[in-house]
Structure 1
Amino acid sequence: MTRTVTAILLAAALGLALTACGTGTGERALSGAGIGAAVGAGAAAVTGGDVSQGAVIGGGVGAATGAATDADDINLDR
């Protein structure tokens, strides 16, 4: 597996795990984008990839995942 594919998969997995930050769809999409961008950039930096590309891909994956979740998919101890 190439480093780029590894970085994308890592960003997707971590973004999916962390997109539950927020109560509304917009909040989850926004927090997912921020978290995904950070994770994507970090994964790209660690694997020697393009940090900007990693941030864009991670942000997109995080935003899409955050927007795709709803209140029933997450547990905020409510």
Structure 2
Amino acid sequence: MHTLKLTQIGNSVGAIFPKELLAQMRLEKGDEFYVTDTPDGLRITTHNPDFEEQMRVGREIMKERRAVLRELAK
């Protein structure tokens, strides 16, 4: 478990992440990550859950409509 410290940054509040946690999540200064609500609390991920859902739907359509997509590609 890691502990984050909140600090004042101008008119905002920021969190300080330990270097070990950043290395584990493969994050660097300026990178984006996503926080989502779950029944167990908050989840921090480095991938966009909305984009992942769109890709899942796209793959499903490509699988079901393979012939149509092949004709469109001509």
- What is the TM-score normalised by the length of structure 2? 0.29
In terms of Rg, which structure is larger?
Answer: 2
Greater RCO structure (CA 8 Å; 6+ sep): 1
The structure that is strand-richer by fraction is 2
